[in-house]
Amino acid sequence: VIFRQLFDAETWTYTYLLGDPDGGGAVLIDPVLEQVDRDLQVLADLKLSLKEVLETHIHADHVTAASVLREKTGAKVSVSRHGAKEADRHLKDGDVVEAGAVRVKVLETPGHTADSLCFRLHDRVFTGDTMLLRRTGRSDFQNGDPGALYDSVTGKLFSLSEDTLVYPAHDYQGRMMSTIEEEKRLSTVVGKTREEFIAFMNAIDKPKPTRFDVAVPANLHLGKKS
């Protein structure tokens, strides 16, 4: 499978491209509106045609390119069953999204937001903002729930095999990836009971993301400008 990690410097967002080298089908995970031209060029360069756009959740820090990419390529947009209503498909735990040889397995991992998903492909997992590197995403807006986040990370993600590669939606220190083994030793969930983690998360006092008031309303409609 063709794999590319793409970066948006304005919002520190990683977008992931997964492609079938034989059939030519491709999946984009978490594309950013401002990077549509770049992403279409990469697809063209690699002779791939976009079949599926996946969202790990309704983002609060950037506007998704999902609806623009759907218009331009005819790709289907798949999101959580708790995500944007206008998606082509609403995903639940255990679902599989396919583009030729690319088979992505869906994990429902609520906590960062109510609609948070992780996606598995072979030896790697795309963790959105559920699990970032050495810590989790925040859980203080969009129906975030620190207890659910603890369960998603320690129950679902930590049960993956330890050599699974971890690709998050962001890393603000320029680290690109990790493994389940590293996060099981070094994540902020480690060494805390569920109650301790809830208290730890509730004590974090962070401002809302800069683009929150633009990004969330747009992303509820897959990034369409109203």
* Residue 56 or 78 having the CB closest to Fe ion: 56
CB of 58 to Fe ion, least distance (A): 8
CB of 145 to Fe ion, least distance (A): 14
CB 70 within 8 A of CB 76: yes
* Residue 100 beta carbon to Fe ion: minimum distance, rounded to whole angstroms: 29
Distance of alpha carbon 189 from alpha carbon 196, whole angstroms: 9
- 144-203 residues in contact with Fe ion (CB under 5 A) are none
CB of 154 to Fe ion, least distance (A): 19
Give whichever of 108 and 129 is closer to Fe ion, judged by the CB atom.
129
Which of residues 25 and 144 has its CB atom nearest to Fe ion in the complex?
A: 144
In the bound complex, what is the minimum distance in angstroms from residue 128's beta carbon to Fe ion? 7
Window 93-132: residues binding Fe ion (CB under 5 A): 129
Of 52 and 129, CB closest to Fe ion: 129
Residue 30 in contact with Fe ion, rule: CB under 5 A? no
What is the DSSP annotation of the chain? -EEEEEEETTTTEEEEEEE-TTT-EEEEES-BGGGHHHHHHHHHHTT-EEEEEE-SS--SSS-B-HHHHHHHH--EEEEETTS-TT-SEEE-TT-EEEETTEEEEEEE-TTSSTT-EEEEETTEEEEETTEETTEE---SSTT--HHHHHHIIIIIGGGS-TT-EEEESB-TTS---EEHHHHHHHSTTTT--HHHHHHHHHT---PPPTTHHHHHHHHTTTT---
Residue sitting closest to Fe ion (CB): 129
- CB nearer to Fe ion: give 96 or 176: 176
Q: How far is the CB of 185 from Fe ion (least distance, A)?
A: 24
* Closer residue to Fe ion (CB): 19 or 128: 128
Residue ranges that bind Fe ion, judged by CB under 5 A? 129
